[in-house]
């Protein structure tokens, strides 16, 4: 008895030492990657259990892992239909993974610590700063409280509205469940739906359309923007980040709407068969959802190739920094556009709204875009090899690669037909897309080393 108890204490001490070692020797980005990795595998294990499937048989570990990573990374790509394949238990597991992945495990950890009366240390604040994309380590605990409040208010309100609408088509209990699932999925820009055709059955329904749009647009703007608007309530007082996000989002939304409406209005496979009001709703929805939402009300595969290319561009740009969406982020795009315009004008300070943008910010933006483009091209190349598409359907592969990396979740139909190797590649893409190329680079890099050697300046011809 004594030996057994002693052995257990030794094991517990070993675990405590390991946890202490990891907490003190891993950087915040490395911890974030580690937690997302563990969470994905926990979800995969649960979803692979027979109780998570409607048939009572396991969906297979690879399919379960794909679904788990897609949920944790709030992507929405699926290799098996969520509504018809997974039981209610499985669907609830997916919903929890979406909520934790979108809200951020550190935000939840802060809430638990506050409820338990624990102190939030510097290490925890640095991790929280990384997960919320905050520019400062000050006020992060209060920001976490605001985030939880925002999530609760928006998801609760949307659940009530959607329940009232779904009650017209199903029983009260089912309506509440469907409303909650899609509210969580929409606000976190996950794109998971319990209907096999996503939200196509409600293409002309203004209640469903505007409710879901409101959720994924607010989630895509980011908590920092929402809190800034709530606090200041004046355009002049808003931060540069908030102004850039709002203007860029509005311009992209309007441009996308006009292009989708004009290009698809005469396509009978999409907008051509709809009434005028339905066309406007569908164009609005489909121009906004590539910003990382993942839902669709019209058939993506039936769109014209030129429209699909427009969606690829919108998916690559994605949502705002600090939001629940992916992509290179609207902020990154704006910084590079401003830098380009400034170069054409002859150089000088890069500025917006009477605020100077640091050169380091421009370099980070350039690094994000270049690494993201490189990754998407490599991903598309690998998928062409694994899926045996060497001489055809390139746009479909590029669409899939961009959707996976930008955590959008839209598909032209390739996801369900992926080979095992293709599934593994897309899983890696979703994981990297959610964490971001810079986070992965920082996590894998060694300690920063400053060169003590100064080199003479020289010139390279450009253009």
DSSP string computed for 77-103: --SS-HHHHB-HHHHHHHHHHHHHHHH
pLDDT tier, 307 (very low <50, low <70, confident <90, very high otherwise) = very high
Please state the pTM of the whole predicted model: 0.84
Give the pLDDT of residue 233.
Answer: 82
Give the pLDDT of residue 3.
Answer: 54
pLDDT tier, 313 (very low <50, low <70, confident <90, very high otherwise) = very high
pLDDT tens-digit series, residues 403-417? 999 888 899 988 888
Give the pLDDT of residue 94.
Answer: 96
pLDDT tier, 2 (very low <50, low <70, confident <90, very high otherwise) = very low
* 93, pLDDT greater than 60: yes
Q: Considering the chain, what percentage of its residues have pLDDT values greater than 70?
A: 80
Distance CA 43, CA 49 (A): 10
pLDDT tens-digit series, residues 121-133? 555 555 555 555 5
pLDDT tens-digit series, residues 289-303? 997 788 999 999 999
Distance CA 6, CA 358 (A): 58
pLDDT tens-digit series, residues 12-25? 455 455 445 555 66
Strands (E), 219-290: none
* 48, pLDDT greater than 60: yes
Distance of CA 66 to the CA centre of its chain: 15
CA proximity to 42, closest of 72, 87, 84: 72
* 71, pLDDT greater than 90: yes
CA distances from 329 to 319, 332, 364, 437 (A): 5, 5, 12, 12
Domain ranges of the chain: 14-441
- Give the pLDDT mean for 92-120: 67
First and final C-alpha spacing in the chain: 78
CA distances from 48 to 40, 63, 420 (A): 12, 8, 16
Distance CA 426, CA 379 (A): 8
What is the maximum alpha-carbon separation in the chain? 81
pLDDT tens-digit series, residues 248-278? 999 999 999 999 999 999 999 999 989 999 9
* 53, pLDDT greater than 90: yes
> Which tokens sit at 293?
């939402």
Give the pLDDT of residue 103.
Answer: 76
Contacts of 434 (CB under 8 A, 6+ apart): 36, 72, 73, 74, 75, 101, 326, 407
In the three-class reduction of DSSP (H, G, I as helix; E, B as strand; rest coil), residue 450 is classed as coil
Which range (136-140, 161-165, 343-347) has the least confidence? 136-140
pLDDT tens-digit series, residues 406-447? 888 899 988 888 999 999 999 999 988 887 765 655 555 545
pLDDT tier, 391 (very low <50, low <70, confident <90, very high otherwise) = confident
């Amino acid at each position: 008895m004594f030996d057994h108890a002693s052995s257990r204490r030794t094991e517990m001490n070993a675990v405590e030492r390991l946890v202490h070692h990891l907490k003190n020797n891993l950087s915040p980005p490395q911890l974030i990657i580690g937690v997302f990795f563990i969470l994905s595998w926990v979800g995969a294990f649960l979803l692979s259990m027979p109780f998570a499937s409607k048939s009572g048989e396991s969906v297979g570990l690879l399919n379960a892992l794909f679904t788990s990573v897609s949920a944790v990374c709030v992507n929405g790509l699926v290799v098996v239909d969520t509504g018809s394949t997974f039981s209610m238990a499985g669907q609830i597991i997916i919903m929890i993974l979406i909520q934790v992945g979108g809200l951020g495990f550190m935000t939840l950890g802060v809430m638990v610590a506050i409820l338990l009366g624990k102190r939030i240390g510097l290490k925890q604040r640095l991790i929280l700063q990384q997960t919320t994309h905050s520019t400062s380590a000050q006020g992060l605990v209060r920001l976490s409280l605001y985030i939880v409040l925002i999530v609760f208010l928006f998801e609760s309100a949307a659940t009530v509205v959607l329940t009232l609408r779904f009650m017209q088509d199903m029983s009260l209990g089912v309506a509440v469940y469907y409303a909650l699932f899609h509210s969580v999925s929409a606000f976190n820009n996950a794109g998971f739906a319990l209907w096999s055709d996503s939200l196509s059955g409600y293409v002309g329904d203004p209640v469903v359309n505007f409710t879901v749009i409101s959720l994924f647009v607010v989630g895509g703007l980011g908590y920092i923007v929402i809190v800034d608007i709530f606090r200041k309530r004046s355009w002049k007082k808003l931060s540069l980040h908030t102004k850039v996000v709002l203007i860029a989002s509005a311009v992209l939304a309007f441009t996308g709407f006009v292009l989708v409406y004009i290009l698809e209005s005469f396509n009978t496979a999409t907008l051509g068969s709809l009434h005028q009001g339905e066309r406007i709703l569908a164009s609005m929805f489909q121009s906004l959802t590539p910003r990382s939402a993942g839902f669709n009300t019209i058939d993506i595969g039936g769109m014209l190739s030129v429209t699909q290319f427009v969606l690829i561009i919108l998916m690559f740009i994605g949502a705002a920094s600090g939001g629940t969406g992916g992509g290179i982020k609207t902020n990154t795009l704006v910084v590079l556009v401003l830098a380009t315009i400034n170069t054409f004008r002859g150089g000088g300070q890069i500025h917006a709204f009477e605020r100077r943008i640091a050169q380091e910010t421009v370099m980070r933006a350039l690094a994000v875009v270049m690494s993201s483009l490189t990754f998407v091209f490599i991903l598309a190349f690998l998928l062409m090899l694994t899926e045996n598409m060497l001489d055809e359907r390139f746009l479909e592969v590029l669409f899939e690669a961009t959707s996976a990396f930008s955590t959008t979740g839209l598909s032209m139909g390739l996801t369900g037909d992926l080979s095992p190797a293709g599934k593994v590649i897309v899983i890696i893409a979703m994981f990297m897309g959610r964490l971001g190329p810079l986070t992965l680079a920082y996590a894998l890099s060694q300690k920063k080393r400053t060169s003590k050697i100064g080199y003479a300046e020289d010139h390279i011809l450009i253009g």
